[in-house]
Amino acid sequence: MEAVEQHGVRVLSFPPDGAVISDDRQAVDLIALARPHRARLLVLPVSRLHPDFFTLRTGVAGAIVQKFVQYRMPVAFLGDITEYLAASSSLRAFVYEANRGKDFWFVADESELDGRLSAAVTAGRRTP
């Protein structure tokens, strides 16, 4: 885990290797780790998400995302999900709507994350 200031926002980034997140209890554990770092945004590599996360009918994504929203801990899911998007129109719609909002984002890389965070801060919006 690494906590850094980025555009005036305390960001806690998790490494790509580590426990796979497959349920809402594990999401709460990540949120708990963020509190001592005073993080205002978590960055979680998509490699840490269970494959069921990307199959919306399983309910895994909804349960996990709901905890981040409920605890008011914005999260950016970082990494290439092109393969999953190509296989599911409902996931494409979910990601599209998520990226229009402020509670969680899907970003392909650090550069996209930096741009979105900069734009959100410039616009005076809560992150993401």
Q: Is residue 69 a part of any domain in this protein?
A: yes
What CATH number is attached to the domain comprising 112?
Answer: 3.30.750
Taking only the tens place, the pLDDT of each residue in 109-122 is 999 999 999 998 88
What local confidence, expressed as pLDDT, does residue 124 receive? 76
Q: Between β-strands 104-107 and 75-78, what pairing exists: parallel, antiparallel or unpaired? A: parallel
| Host domain of residue 18 | 2-122
Mean per-residue pLDDT for 37-63?
97
What is the overall mean pLDDT for the chain? 95
Q: Is residue 128 a part of any domain in this protein?
A: no
Question: 59: how many CB neighbours lie within 10 A of its CB?
Answer: 14
Provide, rounded to the nearest whole percent, the portion of the chain with pLDDT above 90.
91
Kindly report the pTM of this predicted structure: 0.94
Taking only the tens place, the pLDDT of each residue in 16-29 is 999 999 999 999 99
- What DSSP string runs through 66-83? HHHHHTT--EEEES--HH
If one counts the domains in the chain, the total is: 1
